[in-house]
Structure 1
Amino acid sequence: MALPKFASTRSFHTELRTRINQYFEESGKQMTGDFRIVLKAVLLVTAFVGLYIHVVFFTPPLAWALLECALFGAVGAGIGFNVMHDGAHGSFSEYRWLNKVAAFTLNVMGGSTYMWNAKHNLIHHTYTNIDGHDDDIDIQPWMRMTADQPRYRLHRFQHLYFWFLYCMLYISWIFVMDYQKYFSRKIGSMGLKDMTLSDHLVFWGFKALNLVLFVGLPLYIFGFWGWLAGFMISMMVTGFVLSIVFQLAHTVEDAAFPVPHATTGKLEDEWAIHQVRTTANFATNSKLVSWFVGGLNFQIEHHLFPKISHVHYPEISKIVQQVCDEFNIKYNNYRHTRTAIASHVAFLRQMGQAA
C-alpha cells in the first residue's frame, strides 16, 4: 500500500514552530523535561517496585493484596504515560542516555521499545487516523473504528463491550501483538527495518525477564489461582487505563479520519493541520488528570511537538489555540474526562450502526 502524501503547504506549521521557539527563547526553558518529570518518575518507579515487593514477598491479606494489584496496574500505566512515553520521544531529558533509560522501562514491563518506536513514534505520529496505516485504529474484526472498515453484526454492540477489550489490551500487547510484529516483520501494512543483534537480544531477554517477574515467580509463591487473580487484576487495570487515554485522543466524534485520494494518495491538509484535525484534548484544566496521564490529555500539543516534554504542554497550548484560531482550524477540546468518554462511546455506537 502506497504511503499517503501530505499537502506541500507548511504555513500553519511554520507559524506554530516560530511562536513556540520564541516562547522557549524568551522563557529560557529547555524543551525537554525538568525537575518535575524526574521527581514524578522517581515517585512512580518507587511505588511500582515497592508494591511488587510488598505483594510478592510480604503477602498482605487477600482483599488488601487485590487492592494493591489494582494500584500496581494503575502505577504501571502511569510509568508508561510519564516516563516511558517521554523517554521514547527523546523529551524526558536533555541527556540522551537518560531518555534511553526512561524508554527502557517499557522493556521491563514486558513491551518492546523497538516495536513501540516503529508503531507509535514513526507510524502513528505520521499517519494519524488514516485507515490502513495507523495501527492504533486497527482493532479488526473486534471493533470498527472508521467508516472505511468493514462492518460486522457484532459491531452494533461495540459501544457496550469495548470496556472488556480495552482491559485485555496490555495482555494482548505483550503476549501476542509484539510477537506477531516480530515474526511477520510488519506493523499493519508497513514493513519493519532489520533488527540488529542487540535488538533481538533485548527483545527476547526482556520478554523472558517479564515472564519470570510477573508469571514465574508469583506463580511459584502463590500457586495458580492466587497468581491468576492478582495478574489479571493488575493487567486489566493497566490495559484499560492505557486504552481509554489513547482512545480519547483520536476516536471521538470531533476527530477526523482523512482518506487519501484513491489515485494520487494525496491528503488535503499539510501534516500539522492533519494532526490537529485528527486529535482531541480533554480535561486540560484538571491538574490531577494532567499529572497522571503525563500531559497526554494535551494530545494536540503532543502530536504537533512530540520532542517537547509534557511538562510544558499547559503553557504552549495557549499558543497553539491562538494560531489555530488565526488559521480558522478547529481545536478539539473536551472540558471534562467524562464528556470525552461520552463522545468516545457515541462514536463507537455510530461506527457500529453505520451502513
Structure 2
Amino acid sequence: MGKGTNVQHRTFSWNEVQEHTELNDRWIVIDNSIYDVSRFQKIHPGGAKIISHFAGQDATEVWLAMHKNQELAKKYMKSIYVGQVKDVMNYDAEREERQRDMEEIRQVAIKNGWFESNPVFFIAQFLSIVMFEFLGYLVFLYNGSGWMSYFGACLFLATAQAQLGWTMHDYGHWSVVKNRKLSHAVQQFYMGFMKGASKHWWNFRHNRHHAKTNIYKKDPDITFPKDVFLFGTRIPVIFGKMGKKNMPYNYEHIYFWLFGPAMLLPVVVNLEIIYYLIKRRDRFALRDTLAIIGFFCRYTLIYGSFVGGLWGAVKLYFFVRFLESFWFTMVTQMSHIPMKVDFDAGDDWLVSQTLSTQNIESSPWNDWFSGHLNFQIEHHLFPTMPRHNYHKVAPLVKSVCEKHHLPYMVKPMLTAMKEIISSLRTSGELWYEAYHHQ
C-alpha cells in the first residue's frame, strides 16, 4: 500500500501528514481520516493527478462533491486507511462556518431529491441530438453536397455535437443514473461512438479542472500547452518579472481566436487525445480507440456517399468540429477566464469555486445553448447534481454567498463572452509592463 500500511489506527499530526507529498508517498485526509494513496492513485477512476493535487491536504469537501455514492467509495478506501489526524487544522471560525453552511445546503438538496435525475429530461435531450443529426442527413439527401447545403448540414451536425458534449458531460459526472458502470458505459457511447473522442482522457482532465479550478499548474484548462496564454492578474506579472516570453502575451486577446475557438477542438484536443491513447496503451485506451473507430465508421456509412467516402467523412468531421469549437470554447471559458486565476491557496470549497466561476443569466435559450453550464457556480459546487435541478439550489447558494460576503456573479451571456477578450487584454498588458520593467 505504501508507507502507511504498517501504521493502522495510529494518530498523526497535520505536520506529519504534510510530509507525505512525494510521488511514491502521498497521504490525503478525508473527514479527519488519513489515506495512503501512493499506489491507489494509479488505479483511481478519476485519474492520479487529481489525487496528487491534494497530497498532504484535507480533501473532504472535494471528495463529497465529486463522489455520488460515498458508501461505495468508502469500501474501496478501507484498504488504504492509515489512521486519524490527532490535531484540528487551524481554520478560522469563518471558514468553519462556511463549511457547515455548505454541508447544510447539501443535506437540503439530498432531502429534497435534487440529486435525483429526471429520466424524461435526458431522454428528450438524446432525441433532440438524434433529430439534429437527422436534419443534417436530410439536407445532404435532398440538396446534395453543394457548398450551401454542405454548410447547412454541418450547422445541424455541429449542433448535435455540441449538445452531445453537454450530455456526455452529465454522464461523466455521474449525475444521470446511479449505477456507476451504466453511467460510464453511456458516456463511452456518447463520447466515443457519437463524438469520436476519448472518454477517459476527458474524465481525467475534467476532474482536475473541477478539483482545482483556475489553479495554475493544477487546472489543465488554464495551463494551455507551454503557457500559450496567461490568465488572471498575478501569473502574468510573475512571468513578466522573470523575463518569460513563450508568446507575445500582449497580443493574446488577438491570437485567442486562432488557438481558442478555431483550433481547440479540431486540432489541440485531437492531438491531446492521440498522445493520451499512445501513452496509456491499456484497456481504457483500447476501449476509447475502438469507440473512435466506430464513430468514423458511422460517419462514413451515413454521410460518405454524399461527401466522397471515408476521406470525405474525415473532412466533414473536422469542419463540424471546427464549427463546434467556437460554441464550446465560448461557453466553457466565459465562466472562468474573467475570474480569479492564481496558485493553490488551499481555500475551502465555497471560496475556491465562487472566486473562480461565474454564472450566466438563465433563460430557455441560455440553458439549452450552454447545457445549463450557465449555472456554473452550482455545477462546480455540486457536480453530481443533475443540471435540470441547478435552478433549485441556486437561491440557497446565492444566500450563503451573501452571508459570507463572497461574490455570486451573474452576467448576460454576451457580456461574459466579451469579458473573455477584455480579461485576456488586461492579462497581456500586465505581462508586457512587468516584462519591460524588470
Identify the TM-score tier after normalising by the shorter chain: 0.7 to 0.9
**1:182 pairs with 2:277:** yes
Distance 1:237 1:178 in 2: 19
Distance 1:116 1:231, change over 3 A: closer
Distance 2:129 2:182 in 1: 14
2:378 to 301, 304, 311: 301
Distance 1:184 1:160 in 2: 33
Q: Which amino acid aligns with 1:340?
A: A
Comparing 341-350 with 206-215, greater Cα deviation is found at 206-215
Partner of 2:164: 79
Distance 2:335 2:203 in 1: 19
- The structure whose RCO (Cα within 8 Å, separation 6+) is larger is 1
Comparing 86-95 with 217-226, greater Cα deviation is found at 217-226
Distance 1:299 1:6, change over 3 A: farther
Partner of 1:279: 357
Larger Rg: 2
Match of 1:291, SS state, is: helix
1:34 to 111, 118, 121: 118
Post-superposition CA distance 1:24-55 (Å, at most 9, x none): 42x4x351320452243233332244145435
**1:327 pairs with 2:412:** no
Tell me by how many angstroms 1:308 deviates.
0.5
Post-superposition CA distance 1:138-179 (Å, at most 9, x none): 224533235425444533222123223223221125531112
1:222 to 280, 297, 307: 307
Q: Which amino acid aligns with 2:365?
A: L
Partner of 1:157: 251
Report 1:85-104 matches (<5 A). Answer: 85-96=169-180, 98-104=182-188
Q: Which runs of 5+ in 1 are unaligned?
A: 186-194, 261-266
What's the C-alpha RMSD, in Å, of the aligned pairs? 2.9
**1:345 pairs with 2:383:** no
Tell me by how many angstroms 1:19 deviates.
2.4
Comparing 210-219 with 314-323, greater Cα deviation is found at 210-219
Tell me by how many angstroms 1:232 deviates.
4.1
Distance 1:329 1:174, change over 3 A: closer
Partner of 2:230: 144
Tell me by how many angstroms 1:61 deviates.
5.4
Distance 1:96 1:6, change over 3 A: closer
Partner of 2:34: none
Match of 1:157, SS state, is: helix
Comparing 63-72 with 5-14, greater Cα deviation is found at 5-14
Distance 1:344 1:111, change over 3 A: same
Partner of 1:263: none
Partner of 1:317: 394
| Contact 1:92 1:102 (C-alpha < 8 Å) held by counterparts | no
Tell me by how many angstroms 1:98 deviates.
4.8
Q: Which amino acid aligns with 2:367?
A: S
Partner of 2:215: 130
Distance 1:142 1:59, change over 3 A: farther
Match of 1:308, SS state, is: coil
Match of 1:277, SS state, is: helix
Tell me by how many angstroms 1:200 deviates.
3.0
Distance 2:201 2:247 in 1: 32
Partner of 1:13: 99
Partner of 1:167: 262
**1:117 pairs with 2:167:** no
Distance 2:126 2:214 in 1: 34
Comparing 308-317 with 227-236, greater Cα deviation is found at 227-236
Match of 2:291, SS state, is: helix
- TM-score between the two structures when normalised by the length of structure 1: 0.82
Comparing 105-114 with 59-68, greater Cα deviation is found at 59-68
Match of 2:228, SS state, is: coil
Post-superposition CA distance 1:40-88 (Å, at most 9, x none): 323333224414543566663521331121221122111211x111111
Comparing 311-320 with 64-73, greater Cα deviation is found at 64-73
| Contact 2:231 2:341 (C-alpha < 8 Å) held by counterparts | no
Give aligned-pair identity as a percent.
22
Q: Which amino acid aligns with 2:373?
A: L
| Contact 2:129 2:163 (C-alpha < 8 Å) held by counterparts | no
Match of 1:125, SS state, is: helix
| Contact 1:88 1:102 (C-alpha < 8 Å) held by counterparts | no
Q: Which runs of 5+ in 2 are unaligned?
A: 1-21, 23-51, 60-88, 432-438
**1:107 pairs with 2:192:** yes
Tell me by how many angstroms 1:23 deviates.
4.4
| Contact 1:290 1:296 (C-alpha < 8 Å) held by counterparts | yes
Comparing 161-170 with 287-296, greater Cα deviation is found at 161-170
| Contact 1:296 1:302 (C-alpha < 8 Å) held by counterparts | yes
Post-superposition CA distance 1:82-128 (Å, at most 9, x none): x111111110134445523442201121111111111112x111111
Match of 2:218, SS state, is: coil
Q: Which amino acid aligns with 1:348?
A: L
